[in-house]
Amino acid sequence: MPEDEFDWIKDHTPENYNHKGLIEGIGDDAAVYGYESDYDEILCVDTMIEGVHFKKQTMSPEDIGHKALAVNISDIAAMGGIPVYYIVSIALPADWSDEELSGIYQGMNDLGQMYCMDMIGGDTVSSPHDLMISVTVHGRVEKGCHLVRRSAAPGDIVFLTNPTGRSAAGLQLLLQRGREAYYSEIERELLSYHQKPVPRVDAGRVISALHVSASLNDISDGLASEVNELAEASNVSIELYKSQIPIAEELHSFADKSFWDWIFYGGEDFELVGTITETAWPMLQKNMAEQGLTIYQIGRVKEGAHLVTLLDGEQKITLEKQGYNHFK
């Protein structure tokens, strides 16, 4: 724990801010920022708890900071928005050092700078047990252009930005060996998808810029769970085609059953899954390709009560709404 909270705040106050809308940043009772009339505002918050969402065995302090901010940036991406500001609250147990705390903030700062975000406040308190970190992110999106889960309609194409399952595969390796063990180049690639995931803000921006009916969700709890959320919010049925679901090359060294479980239920991929009208699909493909971004058609939206099925050849199975419990 830092010995003096005020010295800590002073030492970690940013020297410069990225956004002109910020009126008062860190150093007062609250932050003050101005609104831009051409934008709608987005606000989200996520909390991570040691032993539930991460372990020292699997993630460095920098990794923890990175992911704590990334989960919120991914929520902004799923709305088609731009992340702007963030606020951090940490409950720190006695066995976490000042150096480790600095590492957490460094991880957040490094990721935040990738998106030109400003940290504008927060709170640090002591915890009697495990570390807890809660991050609130403010974003913005052009008026009337935000994306939601409830816009899927029969006939829509279901799409996915990138293969899923790599984060869960990386976690499996980390739980088996720990983060200090030797890993091959391919294995290190899988570790990075778990420890330092990249939110798909660019893809969300491309989708929202089309100004067409589309639904969108980020994949935090697993592909099956997030597609079920789209179906439930839109009151439709969704059919996925197993043959069209992309499989990351790095997963082929694992057993089929393992990587398919990770693809559907692994979670923490922070990819985007959504739906779009068939007429708008070619334009989305074109615009994504122009930005050097990938997108895959993986299914169709159908009429009927909310249900998600997987078509595997002649076999059709129901994909339940369940996520992966990392530490069980």
* Cα(103)–Cα(68) distance, integer angstroms: 13
Q: How many CA atoms lie within 13 A of 298 on its CB side?
A: 27
Instruction: Give me the tens of pLDDT residue by residue for the chain, a chain 328 residues long.
Output: 455 544 554 565 666 667 666 655 555 444 455 666 788 888 899 999 999 899 999 999 999 999 999 999 999 999 999 999 999 999 999 999 999 999 999 999 999 999 999 998 888 898 888 999 999 999 988 988 999 999 999 999 999 999 999 999 999 999 999 999 999 999 999 999 999 999 999 999 999 999 999 999 999 999 999 999 999 999 999 999 999 999 999 999 998 888 999 999 999 999 999 999 999 999 999 999 999 999 999 999 999 989 999 999 999 999 998 865 444 4
pLDDT at 326: 45
| 105 annotated as a binding-site residue | yes
> Is there a contact between 270 and 74 (Cβ–Cβ < 8 Å)?
yes
E-only strand ranges, the chain: 22-24, 32-33, 39-49, 82-92, 118-126, 132-142, 157-160, 214-218, 237-241, 272-276, 296-302, 307-312, 315-318
Q: Which two tokens stand for residue 210?
A: 């089309």
Give the CATH H-level superfamily of domain 5-142: PurM-like, N-terminal domain (3.30.1330.10)
Any idea which residue has 């899923």 for tokens? 164
| 218 annotated as a binding-site residue | yes
| 312 annotated as a binding-site residue | no
CA distances to 74, 223, 225, 230, 318 from 321, rounded to whole Å, are: 20, 9, 4, 11, 10
| 95 annotated as a binding-site residue | no
pLDDT at 269: 96
For CATH 3.90.650.10, the residue range(s) in the chain are 149-318
For CATH 3.30.1330.10, the residue range(s) in the chain are 5-142
Q: Any residues with CB less than 8 A from the CB of 256 and at least 6 apart, and which?
A: none
* Cα(169)–Cα(147) distance, integer angstroms: 30
pLDDT at 231: 97
pLDDT at 153: 97
| 63 annotated as a binding-site residue | no
Q: Which two tokens stand for residue 270?
A: 């922070």
Interaxial angle between packed helices 185-195 and 61-78, expressed in degrees from 0 to 180 and rounded to the nearest 10: 60
pLDDT at 21: 67
| 122 annotated as a binding-site residue | yes
Give the CATH H-level superfamily of domain 149-318: PurM-like C-terminal domain (3.90.650.10)
Judge if pTM exceeds 0.85.
Answer: yes
> Is there a contact between 205 and 83 (Cβ–Cβ < 8 Å)?
no
Which amino acid would we find at residue 14? P
